[in-house]
Structure 1
Amino acid sequence: MRNIKLTIQYDGSRYKGWQRLGHTDMTIQSKIESVLSKMTNENIEIIGSGRTDVGVHAIKQVANFKTNSNMSTLQMKEYLYRYLPEDIVITNVDEVEERFHSRYNVVSKKYMYKIYNNEYHNPFLRKYTVHIPKKLDLELMKKASSFLIGEHDFTSFRSSKSKKKSNIRIIYSIEIIKKDKLIEIIVHGNGFLYNMVRIIVGTLIEVGLKNIQPEYVNHILLSKDRKLAGPTAPAKGLYLLEVKY
């Protein structure tokens, strides 16, 4: 039995998220499994590094599956490119050791959030960025983000739907980069709670709009009260940027 690792890019705009659902095939996992099953004549189930929500995109999602197929990895890659929808691309297909597991072996992840900060929205970026018309103060946002670096209980920055037993996570870095009217917030951590990145971004936006002071973010963190943090930023601005093993 071979273990095959996939590196995947996708535009999540029209999908119901990553995870396979019983009532629809409009998920990333379902689309890939369907093509793989036809390719191998086997019932293929893939294991993703983690789930992405409805509308979330990925630049470097990782998944793996087991197969008895004798196709080369190049043949697999070409087959997948030919038969997957245009908004899902497998950028790498690699044979890995039997013990490799896309989810359990993850060391850290990077997410990127894109904001279009201009008076008027950009019609060509509307599905891939969140439009904030009022100018954001990046220096205040950077100061606020510094309180989130390190190992903390991120209860205040998780959805009530989160089922994780522990809310302790480590944030290694938060970068805030401006490129003309586009702002990118890159969050690197050892793991993330449900909606954690989007709530962090929503809170930093509130700081950037001067609705809350940067120091208040530390109070939000220590309070362990979701109600004090900012709103959950829309899914369309979020990208799974990288998965590290």
Structure 2
Amino acid sequence: MRYCVHLCFNGSKFAGWQKQLNAVSVQEVLENSLSILLKDKIDVTGCGRTDAGVHAINFFAHFDFNSEIEQFPNFVYHLNSILPKEIHVYKIFKVNDDWNARFSATSRKYIYKILCEENPFMLNLALYVPYSLDLEKMQSAATQLIGKHDFTSFAKLHGGQKNGICDVKSANFLKKDSLIIFEITANRFLRNMVRSITGTLIDIGRGHIDINELQKIKSSLNRQNASASAPAHALYLANVLYENDANLFENRNDFL
């Protein structure tokens, strides 16, 4: 039987989602905790690979187990009690055996939080920029990213990975008081893509890059032509959408 885990995590203390040698990952911690409770070796597949320090407000994963989890009373409560406080499971539910947390997803949304004023309550959760930003230019540039494009210029491609095509559905900036939120939704994302795009848009907002240069950067397919990546600590995987049963895979928005 296949089960879906709907969770969130603060990525500050983790080397990303994916298991790594000599580093603590969210995947490893979740697998170990499930294995302890279920008294069986559990392998978990996630909906994506977040980098070190990146957070997730909504993250979906799946694992296979040959018994009904319902036989374990208050299973989610007990799972959360042994997980570190930086990881919280919303719920666990049964899915079809062919459902895949990664490949069944139709789109993902990331948000990046930028502060125009220092805020001790957002320490290590948003990027403070001590300079003025032209939000109108940044939004105009972000709009140019919408559509199906090759985003190789904004990515660290894995060895052998050659497909840089992503279909960006939306890219918007929202501002509330001193907080700016960049939202971007696409069918898929390349490694480091959102942080690289964000760094480039910030440089456009500062006037360090002319807005007309963005298309040239994108079409060059050269990572060196884009700006340095924005820091990981202000990036969040916000939503993951699946085709069937939207209620079952409902995303939480408590922390947006």
Partner of 1:146: 143
Determine which of 147, 159, 162 is the counterpart of 2:156: 159
- What letter is aligned with 1:32? L
- What letter is aligned with 1:20? K
Partner of 1:194: 191
Determine which of 46, 69, 85 is the counterpart of 1:48: 46
Q: Is the 8 A contact 1:74 1:93 kept in 2?
A: no
Unaligned runs of 5+ in 2: 243-256
Alpha-carbon spacing, 1:193–1:142, altered in 2? closer, same or farther (3 Å): same
Matched, 1:86 2:82: no
Partner of 2:62: 64
Report SS of the residue matched to 2:211.
coil
How many angstroms apart in 1 are the aligned matches of 2:73 and 2:116? 41
Determine which of 118, 127, 131 is the counterpart of 1:130: 127
Matched, 1:179 2:161: no
Partner of 2:167: 170
- What letter is aligned with 2:146? I
Alpha-carbon spacing, 1:87–1:187, altered in 2? closer, same or farther (3 Å): same
How many angstroms apart in 2 are the aligned matches of 1:64 and 1:160? 25
Matches within 5 A, 1:93-104: 93-104=92-103
| Number of corresponding residues | 241
Detail structure 1 runs of 4+ shifted over 6 Å in the superposition. none
Measured after TM superposition, the shift of residue 240 of structure 1 is: 0.5
Alpha-carbon spacing, 1:160–1:48, altered in 2? closer, same or farther (3 Å): closer
- What letter is aligned with 1:179? K
- What letter is aligned with 2:113? K
- What letter is aligned with 1:214? I
Measured after TM superposition, the shift of residue 66 of structure 1 is: 0.4
Partner of 1:19: 18
- What letter is aligned with 1:70? E
How many angstroms apart in 2 are the aligned matches of 1:215 and 1:61? 36
TM-score (norm 1): 0.94
How many angstroms apart in 1 are the aligned matches of 2:25 and 2:151? 28
Matched, 1:215 2:201: no
Alpha-carbon spacing, 1:162–1:123, altered in 2? closer, same or farther (3 Å): farther
TM-score (norm 2): 0.90
Measured after TM superposition, the shift of residue 40 of structure 1 is: 0.7
Report SS of the residue matched to 1:107.
strand
Q: Could you say what the CA RMSD is over the residues aligned between the two structures, in angstroms?
A: 1.4
How many angstroms apart in 1 are the aligned matches of 2:161 and 2:108? 17
Partner of 1:236: 233
**Matched-pair identity in %:** 37
Alpha-carbon spacing, 1:74–1:152, altered in 2? closer, same or farther (3 Å): farther
Partner of 2:250: none
Q: Is the 8 A contact 2:143 2:172 kept in 1?
A: no
How many angstroms apart in 2 are the aligned matches of 1:132 and 1:192? 25
Alpha-carbon spacing, 1:163–1:205, altered in 2? closer, same or farther (3 Å): farther
Alpha-carbon spacing, 1:224–1:71, altered in 2? closer, same or farther (3 Å): closer
Measured after TM superposition, the shift of residue 164 of structure 1 is: 2.4
How many angstroms apart in 1 are the aligned matches of 2:229 and 2:159? 14
How many angstroms apart in 1 are the aligned matches of 2:73 and 2:240? 22
Partner of 2:253: none
Q: Is the 8 A contact 2:157 2:190 kept in 1?
A: no
Alpha-carbon spacing, 1:34–1:163, altered in 2? closer, same or farther (3 Å): same
